[in-house]
Structure 1
C-alpha cells in the first residue's frame, strides 16, 4: 500500500491510498469546530500533539466518528454552529471538524452514514456529515464536503463517545451519590418537526422557574444542535443536557436498546441535579421510529409522569391525543403551533378531552405548576 508523506498538504489532488497528517497547534486553531464535536475539540486544543488525521481508502466510518473535512461547495447550510452554537459563516476551502451521523428530518434530509471517506454532505448545521438519500423538495441541495481524514488518537479513530461527559451505561458521581431521587418528570412530544415542541418546553420551564422551582431540562432524541439546549437555558433551566452530552451526534438509527437506555440515563442524571422538576423533549413526531417504540415501551410510563403534546393543527391534535391516551400516558395538555390561532385552538378544543393551552400561557407560574403531576 502506498504511503504519502506527512508533509503532503490536505488539498493535494494526488491520488491517495493512505495519507497521515500531523495536527499541530496552528492547524488545530484554524479548523472550524462544530457543536457536535465540542468536547473532542476541547481536548484537541489542550493536547494537539496527541492527535493526527488519517485518510485510508479502505476506512468505513461509523456514526459518531470525528472527521476533518473541507467545504467544497455551499448549499443548504452556509453556517456551522460553533461549540456555543454561534452560527459561523463557512467558506469554500475551509476545514471543519464534524461527526458522521444519520439524519431523519422530513422537512430537510434523510441521510445515512456513508460506507467510505468519499465526498459527502453537511446535513445539519450542528455538525453532522452524512450521505443524503432524500430531501424535501423546497430546500437547496446540501453543502458538499470533501473529507480530509478521520481524527485519530493513539492509533484509534476518535468517536464523540470517547470524550462525552456522560455515559448511558455508567452513572455520573453526582447520580451515584444522589440515590433514588424522583422529582416529577414531564415529557414534551409532538406531531412532527416544527410543531412547537422546543418552544413548549421552554415556556413550561420558564413558568416553573417563575413559580420558584429549580428545573432541569433535556433533549433525549433528535439531531445534534445547540439551539434547543440554549433555549432551555435561556428559559431558566439551571441544568441542561442533550444526547450529544452522551456522545451521540444524532439518535436516528441507533439500536433501540440504546435509545431506551439514553432516555432513562438522561432522566437519571437530570433528576440527580437537585431539580424540583425535570422536563424532557422527545424529537420529531409520534410516528418516528424511536418515538413510537418508546411510547409502546412500559419503561416510558415508568419514568415519565406526564406528557405535554405539541400539535400543528386540530386534526393532528386529535390524532395525537388518541395515540397518547391509548399508550397509557398521562396527557396534561395540548400546546404548540395550533395555539397560535384562536380559531384553530377553539376547533381543537371542541374535539379534545385534554385541555388546549396557549404555548406562551405556560410561562405563567400558576399555569405551569398546575401541569405538574399530583404527589
Structure 2
C-alpha cells in the first residue's frame, strides 16, 4: 500500500453539481440548440488559444468525451472548484486529498473543465468537458498501484503528472494498461516506455518550451504555454509546462475514445500521432480534426462488439444451467410417462365399465319390483244383487 495508508482509510467522494450549474455548463459548451458562435452564448475559446490551436471546437461536433474516465494519479485537487465538481471523483485509496492542489486542479481542468456561470468570465473549458476525472492522490508513494486501481475502476485514459521514472512496477503497470486498452500519457523527458505516449510542449508560436526535453524523447507536441485553466481560490490561472501539454493530449485521447471505443491502444495512439500536423523540428503536432479522420478510418471496419470473444469466451448460458435445464426436461418427461401409463392401464379391458352397467341394471329391476309390491290388490267379484 502506497503512502502507508491502510484499506480502512479508503474514501471516495463524488461531488455532484446543482442542476442550475449543470444547465449553465451546457449553455457554455454550446450543447443547446443555439450555435456556439451565436451572440448570446459565451465563448471561452478566444482566451484559451490551445483549444483553437488543436481544433477542439470541430471535434466537439461529434464528441465531447462523454462516457470516458480519465485517471489522474499522484496529485491532489480542489474538489470544490466550480469548473470541476460536476464530473470529478476523488479516490483516497492511496493517500489523502489535500495540501498543494494547484497542479492537480490545473491539470484536471485542462482535461475535463466544463466552465461555470453564464458569462465569458465564468470558468474555463477542458478538451473533453463531458468526460469524468478520477483523481488518485498517492501521498509519498509511486503511481504504479494507483494505475492498476484506476484500470479496475474502468479508466480508459491515464494522465501521469510527472515524467516516467525507471521503475519496474511502473513499467509493469503501464504494460497492463496497454493490454487492457487504456492509453497512458505523460510528459516527455523521462525513462523511455513503449506503453506511454510522451508529450512535449510548445507556445502559441509553435516553439518548444524553454525547458523542453530533447526532441528525441518527444512523440507528440501539444500546447503547453500560458494555458488558461482552473486556479486557486475557485478562480482561474495561466500555467506553462510539459505536464500541461500532456493534459491537453489526454483530453484529446478521451474525445477519440468516446467517439471510437472499439479502437485498440495502438490505434488510438496512431490516430493522435499520425493524424497530426507537422510541428517544430519536424515533430508531429496535435490536431484533432485530422486525428478524428484517421480514427474514423481505422474504426469503420471494426465492430463495437467482438463476436469471437462473445462466442468463445463468454457463453450466453453457464454450463451448470445447461445441466439444470436438462434435468428439468427429463423430470417432466418421466412424470408425463407415469401419468399416461396410469391412465391407460386403469381398466384396459373394460371390466369395470361392464360391472358398473350390470349393477345399474340390477338396481333398476329391484326398484321396479319394489313398486309393484306396494300396489294394493284388487277385490274379486262384485256387489250382491237384492232379491
Considering fraction of residues, name the structure with more strand. Answer: 1
Output the TM-score relative to the length of structure 2: 0.29
TM-score by length of 1: 0.30
Whose helix fraction is larger, Structure 1's or Structure 2's? 2
